Every structure is written in C-alpha cells, then in structure tokens.
Amino acid sequence: MIVLGIETSCDETAAAVYDGKRLLANVINTQEIHKRYGGVVPELASREHLSFIVPLVEEAFNKAGVGWDQIDGIAVTRGPGLVGSLLIGISFAKAAAFARNIPIIGVNHIEGHLWAPVFEYPELKSPFIGLIISGGHTQLWLVHDFGKYTLLGQTFDDAVGEAFDKAAKMLGMGYPGGPVIDKLSRSGNPEYHHFPRPALKNNNYNFSYSGLKTAVLYFLNSLHPDEIESHKADIAASFQKAAVDTLVEKTFRAAHELKVPRIVLGGGVASNSALKIQMTARTESKGIELYIPSSQFCTDNAAMIAYVGYRRLMRSESDGLTFSAEPSFHGLSLS
C-alpha cells in the first residue's frame, strides 16, 4: 500500500510518500514570509499553503517515481493547528480522495510527532514516554501502543518553543528564537543567572513557561544595556538551562514512576543541543533508551503523517469525506 501524506497545520507545507517499508519522498516548504513579522501570521500561512500544496505534491510524486494511479490512500493532518492552514491540506486531500476514489485518514498531528522516530529507528517499541515540544505544544505522553495514548501532562500557559522565541525577541535576536538561543548559548555560562523553573517541584507532569518569560524580561530591565550586550550569551545560556531542566526532570520522573524504559522526543525544540546532551547523559546512566529524530523528522513533516495514516489504513480504517479541521484536536484515544 502506498500512502500520500500531507501536512499543513502551521507554517510548513509538506508532502510525503510512504509504502510501509520505505519513505519514497519527503518534501517540505518552510514559509519564510513570517520572519519579517516575528511570528506566524495565520492568514499569510493559509495563502502560502494554497500556492505550495500542488507543486509540492508533484515534487513528492516525482521523487518517489509514482503517479496518482499508484496512491492507495491519503493521510492528512486534521489538527491541532491553525484552522485556515489545516483546511487547505484537508480540502486538497478530500478532493483527491474523492476524484481517485481512495480512502482518506485525518491524522492527529501530535500522534505523528510521537511516531516520527520510526524512519531512523525502525526498532522503536512501545510503551514509551513521548515529550512533544514545539512552538505550540509542550506535552508529555505515555504511549502504550499504536492508537493507545495517555496524556500525562502539558503546559498551563506558553509552550516551551514560544518561550525560546520570546526570550530571543527580548534579547534583540531573530525569529524563530530557538535555534539562535541554542547557538548563542554554546559560548555562554548557564550558571550566570538562576532563572526560575516553574512547575518543577509540582507533583504532576505539567509545565509552565510564561513565568520564565517574565523573569527574563524583569532581569533584562534590571541590567544596563551595555551589561546585556556583553552578557548576551550568558543570559541566553541561563534561560536555556532553566527551560531545559524542567523538561528533562519531568520526562525522567515519568519514565521512572511509570516504569517505562524508553523516551521519545519530538517537535522543533527536540533539536536543542543542551536538551540532547542532558537527555543523553541521563538515559545512559539510567539504562533508558532515548529516541530523538534528526531535525527533518523533529520539526513538522508529512512523513510522520503518512506513517500514522498507513498504520490506520492497514487496519481498514477510513475517515470518509465529512470530517473537519480540528484546531484544538484532542482526538487521540485516551486509555
């Protein structure tokens, strides 16, 4: 069975072709237009998806060496995400499924992130703890098996990627902020200033990042501009350490308390180098397996959507043509 995967939930237009064994194509267009606004502008994102979706699917078909005749099913992100953006992918997918008379699956984007390591780590087994961290999400999941998930905790307020983006903005750096803070932090001292680690001591698996953002603002306001300039890397590294410490602590607490010996990271923030170093050190000392996809599979992509769609199509599932976009999709089956 050959599946076309489509992802348009935020600012990446992506298409992939997957045959259950090999990823035949995985193409993406990251929208550059938002950089000048310092964040994703939803209306612009929808318009960009509209201009890119057809050429991207054609590019994916060319790379995979297939045409519509070979496509047995379509998987498309149903949510969570920006409603206008989701609707472009869903409308395209439904039109194609109708015209070709093939089944369609509306995939939960988070479920895609949870399984994204399979392309590089085909040996990945469940159960595992999944930490999904991006500009829109900070969630900790217990994955019992394919299709069986428990949400252990999530952020009360800002997502961790959002905190990176806002901290970078306050430091006068570009968007997206995560990669610039990551790079700058390599030459900084993470012990320069102790920022708060909200929710770290709470006896649950939830997170909170808006207090950290405010703490950065207050700290910067307390400094002379020259001091900020000469300690930019130290401030970035101290912020990053605070952001990462809570992620590492809560993820390992979940693995320990629930006796699950595997951890999966997903979402754009999973490519953070300090996080990778801390996670790797802890997993090695505790004998836990760690799965971090490379950045093409950490960030939004259509391969992960095609994978989930493939598994569900193999179970003879189909969502039909009447499902709608779910901007705050909670549709993972909770056990």
Contacting residues toward ligand KG4, per CB under 6 A: 10, 134-136, 161, 164-165, 176-179, 182, 267-269, 271-272, 299-300
* Stretch of 134-142, 245-253, 275-283, 321-329 contacting Zn ion, by CB under 5 A: 134-142
Tokens of 292: 């971090």
Find the shortest distance in angstroms from Cβ 113 to Zn ion. Answer: 6
Q: Residue 271: which of Zn ion, ligand KG4, none does it interact with, CB under 5 to 8 A by kind? A: ligand KG4
C-beta closer to ligand KG4: residue 246 or 299: 299
Task: Return d(Cα 90, Cα 103) in angstroms, integer.
Answer: 13
Out of 7, 234, 300, 326, name the contact with Zn ion by CB under 5 A.
300
Residue 287 exposed, middle or buried by CB count within 10 Å (0-12, 13-18, 19+): exposed
C-beta closer to Zn ion: residue 158 or 300: 300
Q: Residue 158: which of Zn ion, ligand KG4, none does it interact with, CB under 5 to 8 A by kind? A: none
Q: Residue 161: which of Zn ion, ligand KG4, none does it interact with, CB under 5 to 8 A by kind? A: ligand KG4
Q: Residue 326: which of ligand KG4, Zn ion, none does it interact with, CB under 5 to 8 A by kind? A: none
Q: Residue 269: which of Zn ion, ligand KG4, none does it interact with, CB under 5 to 8 A by kind? A: ligand KG4
Task: Return d(Cα 328, Cα 316) in angstroms, integer.
Answer: 26
Site string for Zn ion, 217-246 (x = CB under 5 A): ------------------------------
**48 lies in the binding site for Zn ion (CB under 5 A):** no
Task: Return d(Cα 77, Cα 287) in angstroms, integer.
Answer: 35
Q: Residue 112: which of ligand KG4, Zn ion, none does it interact with, CB under 5 to 8 A by kind? A: none
C-beta closer to Zn ion: residue 208 or 299: 299
Q: Residue 135: which of Zn ion, ligand KG4, none does it interact with, CB under 5 to 8 A by kind? A: ligand KG4
Q: Residue 111: which of ligand KG4, Zn ion, none does it interact with, CB under 5 to 8 A by kind? A: none
Give Cα 212 distance to the centre of its chain: 21
Write out the binding residues for Zn ion, residues 270-299 only, by CB under 5 A.
Answer: none
Rg over alpha carbons for the chain, rounded to the nearest Å, is: 20
C-beta closer to ligand KG4: residue 185 or 283: 185
Out of 134, 246, 283, 301, name the contact with Zn ion by CB under 5 A.
134
Q: What separation in angstroms does the CA of 104 have from each of 43, 72, 109, 203, 282? A: 26, 9, 15, 41, 41
C-beta closer to Zn ion: residue 300 or 319: 300
Residue 123 exposed, middle or buried by CB count within 10 Å (0-12, 13-18, 19+): exposed
- Peptide bond preceding 176 in cis form (omega within 30 of 0): yes
Find the shortest distance in angstroms from Cβ 287 to ligand KG4. Answer: 27
Task: Return d(Cα 267, Cα 69) in angstroms, integer.
Answer: 33
C-beta closer to ligand KG4: residue 97 or 278: 278
C-beta closer to Zn ion: residue 75 or 288: 75
C-beta closer to Zn ion: residue 165 or 300: 300
Find the shortest distance in angstroms from Cβ 187 to ligand KG4. Answer: 15
List of residues contacting Zn ion (CB under 5 A): 134, 300
